[in-house]
Amino acid sequence: MKQEDVRQEDAIDLGRLLSIVVAKKKVVVCIVAVCTAIAAIVAFALPKEYTSQATVQVVDCDMGLGKTAGINISTDMELAKSNEVLKPVIEQVFTDLNPEDRPNVENFVKKYLEVTNPKGTRIIKIVARGRTPQDAKYIAENVSANFVKIKAKSNEDKKSVVVAAFDESIKNAVKESDEATAAMGKYIAEYGNNTDALEYQRLIREVEAKKAAYEALVVQAEQAKIQQSGNVIQLVDAANMPDENNLSGPKRKLIIAIGFVIGCMIALGYGLLLYKKDA
């Protein structure tokens, strides 16, 4: 019986609680209204934020002799967030601030930039946040432009090295082929055109092998040169100009709704406090 009495004492009479809240409805409404109003003030006091996006497609040219092109998207994403890409952008966006007051690259990335790669693609998305639509577009536009320029230069440097390596290999292959042909000619001059002799057959195979190696290198070199002249990185979607009325932040409606919910919770707590006092 005692346990049942305790349970009855601990149980909340919702009807009685509701009557208390209704009796104090002016206070309850004021609590909810004040919390909602504070949330609204905060929502409209927070600085506006706009978002612009640019999309880049990357095709790396990390080639070597006998290798095909390879792509390291994670490395390219880090390049897009590097000092070389971002410092010129920071200097232009924050011209109203002294150099020492401008964000460093790390803080700039955290607050104003998002670089992502949709899984299984060669696409890099550059999403920029700005204080104005113009700032957001400028950041996305210039980060993508700087990235494309630096990445293209890196690819050209890689390809130039590969082509130079092919040229050197072809030069050596020509020399070896000429030496094999000369050795064959010397043998024929001394021993005649004896096709059944083992040495003759060996020299013939060597001449053919050197010639085949040379021809294969020429084909690979031509392919590398064609790829060198190709566009290995390109801007797929240019940075868009955000709509001035379409804020990406702050989420004003959400902040106000949270303020309203907090007000309701405080009002409920106030009602429970009165309920306990009246018990």
Per-residue pLDDT tens over the stretch 103-136: 999 999 999 999 999 887 889 999 999 989 999 9
Write phi, then psi, for 245 (nearest 5 degrees).
Answer: -90, 0
Residue 35 scores a pLDDT above 80: yes
Residue 82 scores a pLDDT above 90: yes
Predicted confidence at residue 24, as pLDDT, reads 85
- Measured between alpha carbons, how far is residue 145 from residues 14, 148, 198 in Å? 64, 5, 64
Assigned CATH class of 47-249: alpha beta
Helix runs in 94-231, H state only: 105-112, 133-191, 198-229
Averaged pLDDT of the chain: 84
| 155-210 residue pLDDT tens | 777 777 777 788 888 889 899 988 989 988 888 888 887 777 888 888 889 989 99
* In contact, 61 and 69? CB cutoff 8 Å: yes
**CA-CA distance, 106 to 86, in Å (whole number)?**
10
Domain with CATH 3.30.1890 in the chain: 47-249
